[in-house]
């Protein structure tokens, strides 16, 4: 069912997007009792965009007025509709500078506010809301989360999901920073987390800690696989069957991307080094 009213000041609208399976939709959120921000201009599909616009316009019948669109980061399943949605609704887009820099053409010109860590988004209403901007890179350089202190609610974008997993990939990703930001989120004491993919999360601190533990478990497997390779070292293609032996073979191409991020982290920490005997290979220091 959509839209879904989570509270009198918070609605969820899942829209079909070209996201990473098994997820099929990206959640957008309408936040605020009178002034409203719309988080995640996600869908690139025309029929879904029409439904999204109808949803946003219908907020007025409840005395709620959209004032801006917020993009948590620049990935296509989060900004696929940004140009059309912003133009049709006459709204500016708010995003981190690193996200704005990665948007193309007209989309970049639509960014009217560059969000920075610690900024407050104050929404007037029957009860004013103040959402603190948290710059949380790791999945994407400009990724931001939003946190409302009074309700202990966090909008977490692609930091965690309740369906599927979160890919930390070469180019945009940084495993070391991602884990540090998960730890930061775990320290918020949030009572509700709203992810871009899947259902709302009622015990977010537990999930943040679970994500950290899982990534560190995988990192230990990667390090052991490098150790087993010996002084000649091993490439990421060599390491995947060992470090991801518990993962279906069909997922190994995606696993390889995450493994490369783990190896990059381990190299930065001085725990592995490049092996001269084989191109693109690593060995334990």
Query: What is the model's pLDDT at position 100?
Result: 98
In which band, very low, low, confident or very high, does the pLDDT at 1 lie, cut at 50, 70 and 90? confident
Q: pLDDT tens, 27-36?
A: 999 999 999 9
- Region of residue 29 (phi > 0: left; psi between -120 and 50: alpha; otherwise: beta): beta
Q: Which residue has the tokens 């871009």?
A: 196
How far apart are the C-alpha atoms of 228 and 49, rounded to whole Å?
Answer: 51
Domains of the chain (ranges; CATH) run 4-202 (3.60.15.10), 217-284 (1.10.10.10)
Mean pLDDT across the chain, nearest whole number?
97
Burial 191-215, CB ≥16 within 10 A → b, else e: ebbbbbbbebbeebbebbeebbeeb
Query: What is the model's pLDDT at position 105?
Result: 85
Q: At what angle do helices 175-186 and 204-229 cross, to 10 degrees?
A: 150
How far apart are the C-alpha atoms of 256 and 237, rounded to whole Å?
Answer: 7
Q: pLDDT tens, 220-250?
A: 999 999 999 999 999 999 999 999 999 999 9
Residue 114 has pLDDT above 90, yes or no: yes
Instruction: Give the containing element (helix H, strand E) for 15.
Output: strand 10-16
In which band, very low, low, confident or very high, does the pLDDT at 277 lie, cut at 50, 70 and 90? confident
Q: pLDDT tens, 131-155?
A: 999 999 999 999 999 999 999 999 9
In which band, very low, low, confident or very high, does the pLDDT at 98 lie, cut at 50, 70 and 90? very high
Q: Which residues 6+ apart lie within 8 Å of 102 measured at CB?
A: 74, 141, 142
Q: How is residue 105 annotated by DSSP?
A: H
Helix spans in the chain (H): 46-58, 76-79, 82-89, 97-100, 105-109, 175-186, 204-229, 236-243, 252-268
């Amino acid at each position: 069912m959509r839209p879904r009213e989570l509270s009198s000041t918070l609605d969820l609208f899942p829209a079909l997007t070209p996201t990473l399976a098994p997820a099929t939709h990206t959640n957008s959120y309408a936040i605020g009792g009178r002034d409203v921000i719309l988080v995640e201009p996600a869908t690139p599909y025309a029929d879904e965009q029409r439904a999204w616009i109808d949803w946003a316009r219908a907020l007025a019948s409840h005395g709620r007025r959209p004032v801006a669109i917020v993009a948590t980061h620049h990935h296509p399943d989060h900004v696929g509709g940004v140009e059309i949605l912003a133009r049709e609704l006459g709204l500016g887009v708010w995003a981190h500078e690193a996200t704005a820099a990665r948007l193309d053409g007209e989309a970049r010109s639509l960014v009217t506010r560059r969000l920075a860590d610690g900024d407050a988004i104050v929404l007037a209403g029957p009860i004013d809301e103040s959402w603190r901007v948290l710059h949380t890179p790791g999945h994407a350089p400009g990724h931001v989360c939003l946190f409302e202190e009074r309700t202990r609610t966090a909008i977490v974008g692609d930091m965690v999901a309740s369906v599927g997993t979160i890919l930390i990939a070469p180019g945009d990703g940084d495993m070391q920073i991602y884990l540090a930001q998960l730890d930061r989120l775990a320290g918020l004491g949030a009572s509700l987390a709203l992810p871009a993919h899947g259902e709302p999360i009622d015990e977010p601190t537990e999930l943040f800690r679970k994500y950290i533990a899982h990534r560190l478990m995988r990192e230990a497997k990667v390090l052991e696989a490098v150790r087993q390779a010996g002084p000649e070292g091993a490439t990421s293609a060599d390491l995947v069957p060992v470090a991801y032996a518990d993962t279906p073979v069909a997922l190994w191409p995606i696993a390889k991307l995450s493994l490369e991020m783990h190896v990059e982290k381990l190299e930065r920490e001085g725990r592995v080094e490049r092996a001269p005997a084989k191109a693109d290979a690593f060995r334990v220091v």
